[in-house]
Structure 1
Amino acid sequence: MDHMSDVSNRDEDIIRRIGELVTEERDLREQHEHRLTPMERQRIRDLEAALDQCWDLLRQRRAQEEFGKDPDTAQVRPAAQVEEYRQ
């Protein structure tokens, strides 16, 4: 497999993970509406943080590739650093 395929596959993995996180978050919200337990509310916050990190990682990878650098040098940054990237 060539480098471009590797990059594309890794990006697809990140996008797939974003989809899984979004689905879990949506299911939690729809399933329980306004009657979320404290553990479910915490899980939603955790999911939101993980989504922020995934979006940030994907943006880093794409920027690295755009500027001719190795996208694999992109790293997951702390949730506090990437908050509010949700789309």
Structure 2
Amino acid sequence: MTQQSPSGEDSVLARIHELVGEERDLRDQLAAQQIDADTERDRLAAVETQLDQCWDLLRQRRARLDAGQDPDEARVRPASEVENYLS
């Protein structure tokens, strides 16, 4: 069985936490009128896409681990692919 690469998963989780913080900061900046609604919307869309890619990468890593494969072989998929997944 392949061992999990904690640093790989940890780095993905750290990036997720950074992006969630950025989402919160953008909402706070809008509420404080430091940015306008269009700027917030555009930046939030980019952050949400990156979050979707991170969550997808984390799922890939965990699936590879469960299948006895190397989780470090998981790769970030293009936004166009990740954003078109069905719920």
**TM-score normalized with structure 2 length:** 0.80
What does residue 68 of structure 2 align with?
68
4+ long deviations beyond 3 Å:
none
Tell me how large the CA RMSD over aligned residues is: 2.3
Larger RCO of the pair (alpha carbons < 8 Å, separation 6+):
2
The count of residues paired between Structure 1 and Structure 2 equals 82
Provide the C-alpha distance between the structure 2 equivalents of 1:4 and 1:70, rounded to a whole number of angstroms: 8
Deviations 1:41-71 (A, max 9, x none): 2111000000000000000001001100111
What does residue 52 of structure 1 align with?
52
Contact 2:60-2:74 at 8 Å conserved across structures? yes
**CA-CA distance at 1:84 after TM superposition:** 7.7
Instruction: Give me the identity figure in percent.
Output: 51
What does residue 12 of structure 1 align with?
10
Structure 2 alignment gaps of length 5 or more: none
SS at match of 2:42: helix
Contact 2:30-2:40 at 8 Å conserved across structures? no
Correspondences of 1:24-63 after superposition (within 5 Å): 24-33=22-31, 36-63=36-63
C-alpha change, 1:68 and 1:4, in structure 2 (3 Å) is closer
